[in-house]
A = this chain, B = another copy of it.
Amino acid sequence: MEYTKFMADRVKTMKGSAIREMFKRMADPEIISLAGGNPASELFPGDELSKIAGKILMTNPTLALQYGTTDGYPKMKDCARKRAEKVNSVGENDEILIMTGANQGIDLTAKAVLNKGDKVIVESPSFIGSLNAFRTYEAELVGVTVEADGMNMDELEETLKNTDGVKMIYTIPTFQNPTGCTMSLEKRKRMLEIASKYDVLILEDNPYGDLRFSGEDVPTIKSLDTEDRVVYAGSFSKILSPGMRLGYIVAPAPLAEKIEMLKQVNDVHTPMITQLMCVEFMKKYDIDKYIAKNRELYGKKCAAMVSAMEKYFPQGKVKWVVPEGGIFLWCECPTIEDITPIVDKCLEKKVAIVPGSNFATDIYAPSNMFRLNYSSATIENIEEGVRRLGEVLTEML
């Protein structure tokens, strides 16, 4: 049977995440992956969660196994609220919705907001999962350059001045994916002014905000918002467990109501057992202490990666900005046009990196950039992976 005629326009030209495709190829145990976005698994609180899950299912099976409410288990909503309040990111007109991962929150916010042809301003480069979510609603993506201190605000204003039909700005202001860059306080304020002037929403995605290992915290955009213009997406993936798929959305009530309805027809509600595990973990343990351990580890791993890059990368041929937190490091090779041959050669040499084109609004345009991840691999493998990568770069640049 021929299926093309049955396919919606939105999926006809859709391309999956090359990163997740790459995951499939990485069954080869000899490959060192600097490609994914996995948090460090060596610190996962398996023993604690084992006891917690065992006890919940033993003492309260009905709560854990029966249907729950779409907006989230009330105590889980309290947990999400606590995390959001810690960064002053819940306003009095906001509602909190528990999501099966923050990605679902971004997908459903986009679904609530975007008609075909509507425009979304995104950082260029940005997180492919969100860009692809916007694409599935047939929105047009308009990229604005990311600099070391975040999105270029003059370019943002110029873009808004010259572009009709923009509904939303999507930003990961802190330890951005893929650049690792953090938007300055001044730029955050300016973004709010510009969004107000041109009357567009801001969707602030903050999965990495807790993972600072140097420098000073910068307030979230949501915390500076006096107009209820910002929808805030938070995540437990990088501070507890990504496999549990727990995130949340903080949104003004009229939008939250629509997002909740869309979640109702999507997965009805987030699984109960993962919500209950998170609630009990936060009740019994100090999650901030657990996060602090991760932060320390990521600081060490980042330093190890940077030191290996300085040692093994061909001098002056690769540019990067050292991040102050998060899990990613972004590299540019100014002397070439297209990183693809290098990425392929790297896979031959058993090290995986992600080409920059994956994070672009135009995924077919060549890119001379690549993304490295330092949270997932061990320090030993980071050094060996960067050594292999350095060999390829030295040979090919």
Show the binding face of A for B, using Cβ within 8 Å: 1, 3-4, 6-11, 14-17, 20, 23-24, 36-39, 41, 44-47, 49-51, 53-58, 60-70, 99-101, 103-104, 107, 111-116, 118, 129-130, 132-133, 136-137, 167-168, 201, 227-229, 241-245, 252, 254-255, 258, 260-262, 264-274, 277
Q: Which among B69, B133, B201 is the interface contact of A6 at CB below 8 angstroms?
A: B201
> What separation, in Å, do the CA atoms of A7 and B168 have in the docked complex?
11
List 5 A-B pairs, minimum CB-CB distance, nearest first. Answer: A46-B61, A54-B54, A50-B57, A243-B272, A65-B241
B46 touches A66 (CB 8 A): no
Known A51-B54, A245-B267, A261-B14; contact A44-B66, beta-carbon cutoff 8 A: yes
Name the CB-closest residue of B to A52. Answer: B57
A20 to chain B, nearest CB (A): 6
CB distance from A329 to the nearest CB of B (A): 19
Instruction: Kindly list chain B residues whose C-beta atoms are within 8 Å of the C-beta of A274.
Output: 271, 273-274
What are 15 A-B residue pairs whose CB atoms fall within 8 Å in the complex? A6-B255, A7-B255, A8-B114, A8-B137, A46-B60, A49-B64, A50-B56, A100-B245, A111-B136, A130-B265, A136-B265, A243-B273, A244-B271, A273-B277, A274-B274
Kindly identify which residue among B3, B17, B252 contacts A1, using a CB–CB cutoff of 8 Å: B252
B129 to A8, Cβ gap below 8 A? no
- The answer to whether A3 and B57 have CB atoms under 8 Å apart is no
A245:B269 contact, CB within 8 angstroms: yes
A23, A54, A104, A252: residue with the most chain B Cβ atoms closer than 10 Å: A54
B255–A66 CB distance below 8 A: no
Smallest CB gap from A55: residue in B: B50
Nearest CB of B to A51, in Å: 7
| A265 with B115: CB separation less than 8 A | no
